Chain A
């Protein structure tokens, strides 16, 4: 196998592992916060439904975390196995957040172990809830630290290149590079948002299947409230991310928007196709919108792709990825707001079958948006692995057999996916909420007698 082949398979394997890991990572970051809110509501209101909600979410969470841990371990090692030249450079400059991430993992893993195995062990339930705080903090910080590494790949800072050597290294400057604030905030908020809509999907699914239990209704209302808040926040941060791109990575924004020529009063292009002459066809254009997205003013001049050498243009298909993410974001925001308003004013429509069905779709759609968002940022950085410093093609491993590894890991991920879904389904089918509630009532009676 030649080096070209190694490069191709290294790319595919990296894409596959990251795309798989990110599903579980996102759940891992978002769900602890939701469990915390539900358990807190349960303690405050002395409502057993919320406590059980937290408890059942925790059980599911324990399974997804395990898959997150193993796939995360895989990607952590694969980065060195597949991109040794890149990791050598990264090790010199951006190792600090990567290293700090392991402490976040430690914190999360330790307290998750404790939290999982200490239900009902404390007299005071608040103490048990307190154990979840380090879990949520650890998960949040691990996302922030890894996103810092990724931000560095987009806006490398804190070093100079002299005769091909990295010199004058400043770890803190590398760590606090300009992409960090918008990226880390958007990643965190979209994780909370995704977790809310996934859990809302589950509640909606039970209602759609004919359950009329107050438990599911409370779950749905809670998750939709949180979903609405996080969806709005994500969209605001997404707007900031666009402004960040306009300033620091204009070629990515131009490619995403098919903004081919530099203009002021730039319109936003949605959907459409590019024909053979590079003309946009069948697109919906919103006047001034791109100038507003990029600089907050309808008259601002936005750099087009013509400003950049052709060999540094990112692939133009990222346009569709960007569109998918934004549309899903707007859709979920509207869906949750309509639901909340509808519940407030007792509209029949929001409890109807078709509306509940839309909510069921919400969770999977949020995951699609996460995938689209990451593919958009990562593919939009190409051909660079470190923007302006190192090309992806120069940094892949030269070792043969990457193709065999790709097949092996594909089989592994299929097995993990099937196992994970299978266990989750079984776990909740075997122990539906009605059964668990009555079991617990019996248990209490037994204790009193």
Chain B
């Protein structure tokens, strides 16, 4: 593996971390708001407060890690994406801020029902606006103008391909989080919530897989080069499909929810990695590749060294966090109230 690929792999890994953890969070917010609207309010609030409040800042750091890391490993991306993405990323930032504020404000009693709805809505708008960036990276929306790269918003908004990415991200968010929360509710012995979330997981399973199919078909028309590489690595996506079937089976049979969560994570992990490999070597098709966008060697070595040292610090800490909040039965079931 060259050092460029290693750098890209690390960043892709952390981006996946954000997407997976973020999906759980976004979906939970949406289901909570939906529950409130349909009068099932209290059902999910508990889950959100017990699980999401202690960890949302950690989830956010995965995102920060990704965008700081990409400027470090591939400084050229700061120029290309920085110049072109002002509007979509600023909008995403505003929604991200509203979510952060919700945890801080609503958990401490500024509970305004309107705020819950806004929070729930951001759970859909945010993945949509972030996934746009992935659509843009597949090429076709950025032109080189006289003063630098320019985003053509018109062709983006009119592109069925871009919309298929948005749709896929939305159904995936709802599916991933329903699977995860089913397990969490069962673990917390919250039967009502489990029943409801299991239903959501099954409802969104089909759209999630169909969305991936539509994406693939539209990719063929949008970017043949990436499409043919996607086909070349068909077995990775085949593996992903098997994981999907496994998850649905367990959820359907109401057994082994823990394994179902692991399978759904693996399903998206393999698909995400497969897509990353198909995208190789482009960071921004066709303007920027991994190799011409890469930083100098001295910086790359320094960053990798810092990364390894950082992991030594992080892994035990994350383990402690999970042990205390995710795997502590008493805490999960709400038998402990230890908030400051």
Interface flag for A284 (CB, 8 Å): no
In whole angstroms, what is the CA distance A90 to B75 when docked?
8
In the complex, are the beta carbons of B105 and A106 less than 8 A apart? no
Interface flag for A349 (CB, 8 Å): no
In whole angstroms, what is the CA distance A3 to B148 when docked?
12
Q: Which of B67, B320, B321, B336 contacts A121 (CB 8 A)?
A: B336
Instruction: Report B139 CB to chain A, min CB distance, Å.
Output: 19
Closest A residue by C-beta to B339: A117
Against B, the Cβ 8 Å flags (1 = close, 0 = not) of A224-259 are 000000000000000000000000000000000000
Tally A residues with Cβ within 8 Å of B.
Answer: 79
Q: Which of A92, A116, A397 contacts B295 (CB 8 A)?
A: A92
In the complex, are the beta carbons of B72 and A99 less than 8 A apart? yes
| Chain A residues positioned under 8 Å from B100 (CB to CB) | 66-67, 69-70, 73
Q: Which of B84, B104, B109 contacts A399 (CB 8 A)?
A: B84
Closest B residue by C-beta to A85: B79
In the complex, are the beta carbons of A77 and B58 less than 8 A apart? no
Instruction: Report B101 CB to chain A, min CB distance, Å.
Output: 6
| Chain A residues positioned under 8 Å from B60 (CB to CB) | 69, 73, 109
In the complex, are the beta carbons of A67 and B104 less than 8 A apart? yes
Closest A residue by C-beta to B55: A113
Q: Which of B64, B84, B306, B339 contacts A96 (CB 8 A)?
A: B306
Closest B residue by C-beta to A405: B90
Interface flag for A169 (CB, 8 Å): yes
Most chain A CB within a 10 A radius of its CB, from B75, B79, B93, B338: B93
In the complex, are the beta carbons of A169 and B68 less than 8 A apart? no
| Chain B residues positioned under 8 Å from A430 (CB to CB) | 109
| Chain B residues positioned under 8 Å from A95 (CB to CB) | 68, 71-73, 75, 295, 299, 303
* Chain B interface residue number, banded: 35 or more
| Chain B residues positioned under 8 Å from A419 (CB to CB) | 101, 104-105, 110
Most chain A CB within a 10 A radius of its CB, from B104, B296, B307, B320: B104
- Chain-B contact segment, one of A55-63, A273-281, A310-318: A55-63
Q: Which of B65, B108, B299, B320 contacts A169 (CB 8 A)?
A: B299
Closest B residue by C-beta to A99: B72
Q: Which of B69, B78, B105 contacts A80 (CB 8 A)?
A: B78
In whole angstroms, what is the CA distance A132 to B132 when docked?
39
- Chain-B contact segment, one of A204-212, A214-222, A373-381, A421-429: A421-429
- Chain-A contact segment, one of B19-27, B224-232, B277-285, B309-317: B309-317
In the complex, are the beta carbons of A114 and B320 less than 8 A apart? yes
In whole angstroms, what is the CA distance A81 to B83 when docked?
6
Interface residues of B in 127-169 (CB under 8 A from A): 147-148, 150-151
| Chain A residues positioned under 8 Å from B302 (CB to CB) | 96, 171-172
Closest B residue by C-beta to A110: B317
Instruction: Report A416 CB to chain B, min CB distance, Å.
Output: 6
Interface flag for A343 (CB, 8 Å): no
Instruction: Report B277 CB to chain A, min CB distance, Å.
Output: 24
Against A, the Cβ 8 Å flags (1 = close, 0 = not) of B226-240 are 000000000000000
Given A91-B71, A95-B72, A118-B324, the answer on whether A73 and B63 have CB atoms closer than 8 Å is yes
Interface flag for B194 (CB, 8 Å): no
Against B, the Cβ 8 Å flags (1 = close, 0 = not) of A35-59 are 0000000000000000000010011
Closest B residue by C-beta to A115: B340
In whole angstroms, what is the CA distance A110 to B68 when docked?
19
Q: Which of A87, A93, A117, A402 contacts B79 (CB 8 A)?
A: A87
Contacts A90-B75, A113-B57 known; 8 new A-B pairs at CB < 8 A: A55-B340, A71-B97, A73-B96, A96-B299, A99-B306, A119-B339, A170-B298, A423-B110
Residues on B close to A: CB < 8 A? 53-55, 57-58, 60-61, 63-65, 67-69, 71-76, 78-87, 89-91, 93-94, 96-97, 100-101, 103-105, 108-110, 147-148, 150-151, 295-296, 298-299, 302-303, 306-307, 310, 313-314, 317-318, 320-321, 324-325, 331, 336, 338-340
A–B Cβ pairs within 8 angstroms, 20 of them? A66-B57, A73-B97, A76-B64, A80-B71, A84-B82, A90-B75, A91-B74, A92-B296, A95-B72, A96-B306, A102-B68, A106-B310, A110-B317, A110-B318, A115-B340, A117-B325, A117-B340, A118-B324, A171-B302, A420-B105
